Structure 1
Amino acid sequence: MNKKRNHIKKQCVMCFVLLSLFFVLGCSNTKYLPEEELLYTGGSVTVKDSAINRKDKKALETEMKGLLRIKPNKQFLGLRPKLWIYNIAGEPKKEKGFRYWLRNKVGEPPVLFSKVDLDYNTSVLRNFSENRGYFKTRVHADSTVNNKRVTAEYTVLLKKQYIIKSVTFPDDSLKMSKIIARSSQRSLLKVGKPYDLDIIKSERERIDARLKERGYYFFNPDYILAKVDSSKGDHEVNIRLVIKDEAPVKALTAYKIDKIFVYPNYSLTNDSIVYRKKEIKQYKDFTITDTANTFKPRIFDRAIYFKKGDLYNRKDHNLTLNRFVNLGTFSFVKNEFKISDSIPKTLDSYYYLTLLPQKFIRVEVLGKTNSASYTGSEINVNWNNRNFFRGAELLTFSIFGGADFQLGGPNKGRNIYKLGAETSLTWPRFVSPFNIQGNSEFVPRTKAILRYEYQKRTALYALNSFNASFGYLWKENIRKEHQLNLTDITYVSPNHVTDEYLADIQKDESLGKVIEKQLIFGPTYNYTYTNTMQKRRKNTIYFSGELDLAGNITGLVTGADVKKDNEKLIFDVPFSQYVKIKTDFRHYLKLGQESELASRLIIGAGFAYGNSTTMPTSKQFVVGGTNSIRAFRARSLGPGSYVVPETTSDYLPDQSADLKLEFNTEYRAKLFSIVRGAVFLDAGNIWLLHADPNKPGAEISKNFMKQIAVGAGVGLRFDVSFFILRTDLAIPLRNPSLPDGQRWVIDGVNLGSGSWRKDNLILNIAIGYPF
């Protein structure tokens, strides 16, 4: 009974504190106002029209409210914390220091009612309503004062909305009028729909875009006049589209392409240079003025979609410009069309291309830490040549090295060192025995990579890793991207394995997988779809699907079957044979101007067969860490309910498996200035496809949902434009390694206990968002 009373007392105290906080913050904001000034707290719009249903009226009021100027101070839970911070910071003595930063960067000055123009807002609402077909709208404005706070109220009295009765397109003898008429079925103006000025503007732009595809380069939407007649019918309008009489002759003329000039070494500082004859070359339909013989002429044939005699169209115009930009060799691309002097009704096309530096070096230094108590750094030195074979090929040679130091925990002193080199060559086309032509605005690429890496784990072992790949990357459009590696070869060989590690393998056979020789080869394919670049959408998605096929054809041809003692070797190494699929789906729901709900679902599966009984460790799935389930350390979760034996607890966790299921969701919102906050929930696990006697509880079963791990936490993200520093603090809510029935550990949360915090609070520091 006493416990219950104490609990009620605590709740009452908490309510009192919150109410006091609301009162203090609310009152304190008005006492700082200048004399005779009032704090503007916002405006409301009430639409009065019985003909509109409740849902549409609410939407119309919300849209109109967004048009009001100016905006009041930002609120959070009914309070104005940014204004309160501005007030308590006081007037700084100089334009620098903490007080100046707090007042002007974190805080926000009061929005005074004297700055609000009621007549202007009234006019805006009236014009908006009439543009939507509510002609003869009346708007009234009023204000209400309460304790030095003012709200503005706008009442919009709508008349009956006008409906489109008929739409007529140009019917004169011009050729373009016939083109417009043939596209009338795609018109945005529909009979029976409400009159809307924005739709009329969009229809003019649609017609202009249609004409641009038919050679009318000099036409623009302003040459189309929409004549609206509302004198006939009951709240109906007749819309007649006509070509303005003042439209110039060249706007009414369809043009073809004549000469095409290309200047690959164009200088922004000196565009009046005189070129010598030997610097000017003719290649097919192009006149190329390449003063330094920088490029092979065929590169322009691939980039420029226009040919002599082609009818001008905007699609090929934009495709050409985008292709030049995507080649990656030009810092500036300029295009002009001029009426030809030689042939009537034709255009000469000019492309002025300013080069980026052909060769450059980039140095990257990275500092990092992870939840496994490793802290370290890495340096990458990249030498690049943007035009290696004079065809806009990109050659990159990199050397890299780094060290991760174990500064605490049972692995203290077992540091990780790595050193390596990589070279890659990228062609801006499909390198293939077949002639593959793409019509995307994005340049397709062929990429070949050679890579070597040496990794040393102190007092344990070292690994030599070789990788070679050859494949294609191409984008259908801005949303869809493909990557196909025709071959991706990886060879891993161990050396300097210590006696200590060999002895520990005798205790736990799974440790031996890490130092096994591996030969992995086969094609890989990745497909990505995203519309997250469309900022105006409330819902956006990202999807990535990966397919990895290793040793499948070789295994089929050789008849490899390790289960029948028919293991096949290449260079005395058994090759891996498996199929692996992974999908990554993300959804972003915009909740406000500066807030969103982001969610991710990952499903992966790998199946080893033929020449392999298990997937290579490097190709298996893992969970935990900064970009996964953040309440568990990297690679330390699962498989299933498997518990790592104490004999191997001294090693860095490296728990991997064949199947993966993971779900993450987090609420993100801007707090102030560059600081953003997040609240997140992560869940998931990994499993083996087949039972392993050395890992009890690791295999998938019908009760796999009982083995799902759950973690939650909060985070801060510091957005400094060119990168985002992320800090996430997480705790486990459900631990599948505990006995069944004891896996929910939320009741054991004890933030006041130092030992609990040491074992359960996981701090993740990373660059960028987790998804």
Structure 2
Amino acid sequence: MRSLHFKYYYLFINLALVMALSGCSNTKYLNEGELLYVGGDIEVNGAETSRGDRKRIAENMETLLRPKPNTSFLGLRPKLYFYNIAGDSVGTKGFRHWLKYKMGEPPVLFSQVDLDYNAELIKGYAENKGYFNASSSADSTAKNKKATAEYTVELGSPYIYKEVDFPKDSIPVTAAIANTREKSLLKVGEPYDLDVIKAERVRIDANLKETGYYYFNPDYLLAKVDSTAGEKEVSLKMVLKEETPVEAKETYRINNIYIFPDYSLAEDSLIPSPPVGNKFGDYTIVDPKEKFKPKMFERTLLFEKGELYNRTDHNKSINRLVNLGTFKFVKNQFKVSDSATNLLDTYYYLTPLPKKSIRLELLGKTNSANYAGSEINLSWTNRNAFKGAEELRISAHGGFEVQVAGLNQGYNIYRIGTEATLTWPRLITPFQTPSNSAFVPRTRATLAYEFQARTKLYSLNSFNTSFGYLWKENLRKEHRLNVMDITFVNPFNVTELYEEQIALNPNLGRIIEEQLIFGPTYTFTYTNTMATAKTHTFYFQGGLDLAGNITGLLTGANIDSGDPVTIFDVPFSQYVKAETDFRHYMKLNRGLDLASRIIIGAGLPYGNSRELPFVKQFFVGGSNSLRAFRARSVGPGTYNIEVEASSFLPDQSGDLKLELNTELRADLFSIVEGALFVDAGNIWLMNEDPNKPGAEFSKDFIKELAVGAGIGLRFDLQFLILRTDLAFPLRLPHLPKGQRWVFDQIDFGNSSWRQQNFIFNLAIGYPF
């Protein structure tokens, strides 16, 4: 592993050198008289517009300028550098062709820039924002074979709305348009904005779609603007175009509902009109082979015969069918009924996925504790187990981890296990639980077993079973409630060697304790990270784990009054555990993002337990945590075990956890992304432990944080993100006060320092 550390250390150094060279040598490849275009600057003037608004307008105008300059990072242009060093005679394939046209990009020359066109473009943008008297001019500057375009925009005064009118006649469709006025985006006194007018038309259309106007379209609305209404004022009137077709002015109700749950494209010409199938309530189900229970569609679809068409139920029904996970393609169609012109016959064409499938995965993995290994996973899935879109999945896995260098050579880990999961696309409860969410609620039951053997030390049998519910309120909010979650861990084959180690370090005994954990768990997740256009996006997950609370009350368990209460001769755990994970993502610039995370966790043992069971405790360190420290090696608190070369290193765990991470991510070139990061955190014990001095939580916990920093590369291979991180510690909490910051000891040129401090992490996916 040390050679790997050196390899990647020099890789990062070489990358930095390449990028530095790219900043000073690109222009030498230009022909005589050519200038490299490095971008455009826009100065926006206007005394009646605030400085903040002028800055925002300038930023938006810059996105309109064409062409775009070569991609840059911190003032450097690595893509252009790769294009240049590849040379001219690169052929149609091979490394140099790949380097030039895949990794690189050709120079953007100033001769490609049309200054007058861009000036008119940004002037048009100003006019669309209500600055009807705006003017623009263009110029340029050149230095050292680089040219910058410079634009000046004089805004003048913005025009504002003097009045906003909606249709006033009694025709149903125009009356419906007028009824939406209360929530109009167009406000008297606000500046004229063409984008807001377009959004207003979309808003009105969306409202009409909720009240039966299936064939309406935003293009049927016309905004008439009069700019002579007053001094720097406009009047706006929203009207219905005269050429609007008749069907767009009519409301429609749902008539017959036809479902084809075993549809294929080849059947298009074979479907009779009207379709022939089995009636089930409001539905006609064309399923000759009876692959699906009709009740499933009644629970999934939201339309009912006779109701007014609305887009919400339309979209939710489609989404729910897709969300079942049973159908490969879902297509919906509406046709005007033959029986009446204002009725819609609804058709759902559903193409199933293969009912049964089998999947085999082979994984390679490594971690910062110098363990490397492999894992194989085999899973069999039935997507329609009981004809109601129930998913039955049975899987088996096996794997091993070995330490190729370090303290634990020979203590290899072997795992083998199996799991069965059955998921119903509904909530199975004693109570009626209707749902009109766009996502189908689910009930899930699992049964799992794993055997783990640690060579020369011990073996563990682990059993788990759970029953609970998963449901989403909307795209952003998700809930998971396990009303029953039982874990039983049983150790065996504990060797004399491990018993001897326990005698020297009693904390090792916790790993092989017999454990019985049961109780409800709940997790709430909120995220808006799918809104990629937003500057700020968030992810939050909060979890609550209540173990043995009811049983503890019934049995009167209290560890302080004597031995713990047992069930089947096994003490059951009793605790409350809560954990939150909050992440913030900020777009700083094109291809430059800042990602941050804070994790806070706390566990309170009580009643039948003095401490949390080992599998439920908190850990820090490793490739997805504090990357400058080996996995599970930090804390708790200021505690630091003295480890001899021949001893066995235990995982450090705690009842409390605080972790903070921040990472600057930048697109470098092609599939490569770079990162600079800082991680901080630690764990603590709730109660004092004489075997772990300094581990107890105190008011000085902030002074006990471990801190590390590093750099990384991410390779976007489309099907996965391969991540490499190289990190080193900045602060060591186990050192005496006043000596914990180790900036003065950093020495990148010293091989001994690198061997002791550099931690290389190879992982899949982002750390957060």
Q: Same fold (TM over 0.5)?
A: yes
Aligned length: 752
Alignment match, 2:565: 568
Aligned residue runs from structure 1 range 160-199, under 5 A: 160-199=157-196
Do the aligned partners of residues 276 and 358 (structure 1) sit closer, same or farther apart at CA in structure 2, a change above 3 Å counting? Answer: farther
**Residue 383, structure 1, aligned to residue 380, structure 2:** yes
Tell me if 1:733 matches 2:730. Answer: yes
Aligned partner (choices 596, 621, 626) of residue 624 of structure 1: 621
Instruction: Give 1:109's aligned residue.
Output: 106
CA distance, structure 2, for counterparts of residue 711 and residue 139 of structure 1: 50
Q: C-alpha displacement at 1:334, in angstroms?
A: 0.7
CA contact (8 A) 1:504 1:648 kept: no
Partner of 1:527: 524
- Give the aligned residue type for 2:670: S
Q: C-alpha separation between the residues in 2 aligned to 1:222 and 1:317?
A: 21
- How far the C-alpha of 1:770 sits from its partner, in A, is 0.7
Hey, what does 2:467 align to over in structure 1? 470
Determine the structure 1 residue equivalent to 2:41. Answer: 44
Shift of residue 566, structure 1, vs aligned partner: 5.2
Kindly indicate whether residue 561 of structure 2 is the aligned counterpart of residue 546 of structure 1: no
Identify the residue that residue 224 of structure 2 maps to in structure 1. 227
Which residue of 238, 242, 246 maps to 1:241?
Answer: 238
Which has the higher mean CA deviation after the structures are superposed, 749-758 or 694-703?
A: 749-758
Q: Is it true that 1:658 corresponds to 2:655 in the alignment?
A: yes
Q: 1:719: which partner in 2?
A: 716
Out of 64, 81, 88, the residue aligned to residue 61 of structure 2 is 64
Give the structure 2 partner of residue 598 of structure 1. 595
Aligned-pair CA distance for 1:500: 1.4
> Tell me, what secondary structure is at the counterpart of 1:292?
coil
Instruction: Give the Cα separation in 2 of the matches to 1:354 and 1:754.
Output: 61
Matched residue, 1:217: 214
Other-structure match for 2:489 = 492
**Structure 2 counterpart of 1:395, one-letter code:** L
Query: 1:336 matched to which residue of 2?
Result: 333
Cα distance change of structure 1 residues 279 and 136 upon mapping to structure 2, 3 Å threshold: same
Larger mean CA deviation between 321-330 and 653-662 belongs to 653-662
Question: Residue 362 of structure 1: SS of its match in structure 2?
Answer: strand
Q: For residues 237 and 275 of structure 2, what CA distance do their matches in structure 1 show?
A: 57
Q: d(CA) in 2 for partners of 1:648 and 1:577?
A: 37
Asked if 1:80 corresponds to 2:51, the answer is no
Whether contact under 8 Å (2:73, 2:668) holds in the other structure is no
Task: Give the Å deviation of 1:71.
Answer: 1.0
- Alignment match of 2:358 (pick from 353, 361, 367): 361
**What is the identity percentage for the equivalent residue pairs of Structure 1 and Structure 2?**
60
CA offset at residue 745 of structure 1?
1.9
Q: Are residues 271 and 649 of structure 1, via their aligned partners in 2, closer, same or farther at CA, if it must alter by over 3 Å?
A: farther
**Alignment TM-score, normalising by the size of structure 2:** 0.95
Greater RCO structure (CA 8 Å; 6+ sep): 2
The answer to whether the aligner puts 1:510 opposite 2:507 as a matched pair is yes
Q: Is the contact between residue 724 and residue 769 of structure 1 (CA under 8 Å) also seen in structure 2?
A: yes
Q: Deviations over 1:86-110 (max 9, x none)?
A: 2232113322233222222232211
Once the two structures are TM-superposed, the CA of residue 133 in structure 1 deviates from its matched residue by 1.4
Q: What secondary structure sits across from 2:270 in the alignment?
A: coil
Q: CA deviation at 1:310?
A: 0.3
Equivalent of 2:696 in 696, 699, 718: 699
**Residues of 2 paired with 1:276 and 1:403: CA distance?**
60
* Structure 1: tracts of 5 or more residues without a match: 1-17
Give the partner amino acid of 2:195: D
Q: Which residue of structure 2 lines up, in the alignment, with residue 743 of structure 1?
A: 740
Indicate the SS of the match to 1:270: helix
Distance in 2, Cα, partners of 1:681 & 1:264: 52
For 2:348, the equivalent position in structure 1 comes to: 351
Q: 2:466 corresponds to which letter in structure 1?
A: S
2:125 to 119, 128, 153: 128
Q: TM-score, normalised by structure 1?
A: 0.94
Q: Secondary structure at the match of 1:238?
A: strand
Larger mean Cα displacement after TM superposition, 264-273 or 685-694: 264-273
Structure 2 CA distance for aligned equivalents of residues 154 and 76 of structure 1: 24
Q: Which amino acid in structure 2 is aligned with residue 667 of structure 1?
A: L
Q: Secondary structure at the match of 2:182?
A: helix
CA-atom RMSD, angstroms?
2.0
Residue 205 of structure 1: SS of its match in structure 2?
helix
- Offset of 1:43 from its aligned partner? 2.1
- Does residue 1:299 correspond to 2:330, yes or no? no
Instruction: Give the distance between the partners of 1:438 and 1:511, measured in 2 at CA.
Output: 49
**Aligned equivalent of 1:3:** none
Q: Which moved more, 1:27-36 or 1:263-272?
A: 27-36
- Quickly say closer, same or farther: Cα 1:157–1:741, change in 2 above 3 A: closer
Q: Distance in 1 between matches of 2:146 and 2:585?
A: 37
Report the Cα distance in structure 1 between the residues aligned to 2:284 and 2:320, rounded to whole angstroms. 19
2:267 aligned with 1:270, yes or no? yes
SS of structure 2 residue aligned to 1:328: coil
Q: CA contact under 8 A between 2:464 and 2:488: conserved in structure 1?
A: yes
Distance in 2, matches of 1:357 and 1:69, equals 48
Matched, 1:416 2:409: no
2:195 alignment partner, SS class: helix
Q: Which residue of 2 aligns with 1:314?
A: 311
Residue 270 of structure 1: CA displacement?
3.4
How far does the alpha carbon of each residue in 1:647-670 deviate from its partner, in whole angstroms, 9 at most, with x for none? 797224311111111111111111
8 Å CA contact 2:643, 2:649 repeated in 1? no
* Distance change in 2, residues 1:183/1:741 (3 Å): same
CA contact under 8 A between 1:417 and 1:457: conserved in structure 2? Answer: yes
Residue 677 of structure 1 aligns with an amino acid whose one-letter code is: G
1:682/1:31 CA distance change after superposition, 3 Å: closer
| CA distance in structure 2 between the partners assigned to 1:28 and 1:450 by the alignment | 62
The answer to whether the 8 Å contact 1:279/1:290 transfers is no
Local SS of the residue matching 2:265: coil
Task: Answer whether contact 2:426 2:443 (CA < 8 A) is retained.
Answer: yes
Q: Secondary structure at the match of 1:272?
A: helix
Within the candidate set 138, 143, 150, 2:140 is matched to 143
Do the aligned partners of 1:634 and 1:653 also contact (CA within 8 Å) in 2? no
Q: Select 2:86's aligned residue among 85, 89, 95.
A: 89
Task: Tell me, yes or no, if the aligned pair for 1:508 and 1:648 is still in contact at 8 Å.
Answer: no
Alignment partner of 2:267: what SS? Answer: coil
- The separation in 1 between residues aligned to 2:556 and 2:372, in whole angstroms, is 47
How much has 1:159 moved relative to structure 2?
3.9
Counterparts in 2 of 1:685 and 1:159: CA distance versus 1, 3 Å: closer
- Paired with 1:79 and 1:551, the residues of 2 have a C-alpha distance of 59
- Bigger drift between 488-497 and 174-183 goes to 174-183
Deviation readout 1:99-140 (Å, 9 max, x if unpaired): 222222232211122322233323322321221112243333
Matched, 1:587 2:584: yes
Q: Matched residues in 2 for 1:278 and 1:351: separation?
A: 12
SS in 2 for 1:684: strand
- C-alpha distance in 2 between matches for 1:548 and 1:259: 48
Structure-1 residue corresponding to 2:323: 326
| CA offset digits 1:649-696 (Å, max 9, x no partner) | 722431111111111111111111111111111111111111111111
How big is each residue's C-alpha offset from its partner over 1:34-80, in whole Å with a ceiling of 9 and x where there is no partner? 45543323222233433223332222222212211111123344443
On the 8 A contact 1:560/1:566 being kept in 2, the answer is no
- The correspondence for 2:751, drawn from 738, 751, 754, is 754
Query: Aligned AA for 1:498?
Result: T
The superposition leaves residues 161-185 of structure 1 with CA deviations (integer Å, 9 ceiling, x where unpaired) of 2110001101122112222222211
Contact 1:168 1:240 in 2 (8 A): yes
Q: Are residues 578 and 318 of structure 1, via their aligned partners in 2, closer, same or farther at CA, if it must alter by over 3 Å? A: same
CA contact (8 A) 2:546 2:576 kept: yes
Distance 1:146 1:714 in 2: 34
SS in 2 for 1:602: strand
Give the Cα–Cα distance (whole angstroms) in 2 for the partners of residues 676 and 583 of structure 1: 28
With over 3 angstroms needed to count, the CA separation of the structure-2 counterparts of 1:31 and 1:657, relative to structure 1, is: closer
Helix, strand or coil at the partner of 1:231: strand
Aligned to 2:554: 557
Query: In structure 2, how many angstroms separate the alpha carbons of the residues matched to 1:44 and 1:656?
Result: 54
Cα 1:63/1:547, change in 2 over 3 Å? same
Is the Cα contact below 8 Å between 2:390 and 2:425 reproduced in 1? yes
Counterpart of 1:271 in 2: which secondary structure? Answer: helix
